[in-house]
Amino acid sequence: IAKLSKRRWLRYRTDLQAVFQDERGTLSPKRSVYHNAEEALCNLTDMRKEERRACILDLMDQLNMSRSLLQVPVRQLSGGEQRRIGLLRALAIKPKFLILDEVTAGLDLLSTEAVLTLLQEYQEAHACSYLLITHDLSAASRLCSRMFEVDHGRIIHEAVQ
């Protein structure tokens, strides 16, 4: 990616999305959840307003998040809620490749299940590939066909499912 020209990067940026363990750097803290979610869709898709709203509402439901959060400023959300909003933004773009950094860290069991189910369904429906960075081996085995265990920057074990 670092070697791509700006012109080529712009062509690929909708195909590649990332969800970070700490979403504070990617979300606008003073703006509402809805504004943060819609902003990505406005910038990276040609969806009409009604389509954007329907997409956001559908993903909120799938992530087991209350629609009442849509009007809440992002700064008032927990870290786990912010991470799920980051995931919502990324999936709404319909990327072909997702980098997921500790996407379920700090989530309760119900939220974790909602995230993993959504990721499985998305992967099947859109043939999306994931680079999943996690300490949760059960999540990794659910989503990944190939896993690497890394210790101090070195691969110490590889598993293929």
The model's pLDDT over 96-152, given as tens digits with 9 standing for 90+, comes to: 999 999 999 888 999 999 999 999 999 999 999 999 999 998 999 999 999 999 999
Is 161 a residue whose pLDDT tops 90? no
Is 85 a residue whose pLDDT tops 90? yes
Tokens (6 digits) for 23: 């979403």
Instruction: Please compute the mean of the pLDDT values over residues 52-63 and round it to a whole number.
Output: 95
Closest CA to 77 of 37, 133, 23: 23
Whole-number Å distance between alpha carbons of 38 and 124: 24
pLDDT for the residue numbered 113:
93
Q: How distant is the alpha carbon of residue 9 from its chain centre?
A: 20
pLDDT for the residue numbered 9:
81
The model's pLDDT over 5-37, given as tens digits with 9 standing for 90+, comes to: 888 887 788 899 999 888 777 899 899 999 999
The answer to whether the Cα torsion of 73, 39, 37, 142 is positive or negative is negative
User: Distances from the Cα of 41 to the Cαs of 37, 67, 135, 145, in angstroms?
Assistant: 7, 18, 30, 30
pLDDT band per the 50, 70, 90 thresholds, residue 88: very high
Residues 6+ apart with CB under 8 A from 20: 26, 83, 86, 101
Is 71 a residue whose pLDDT tops 90? yes
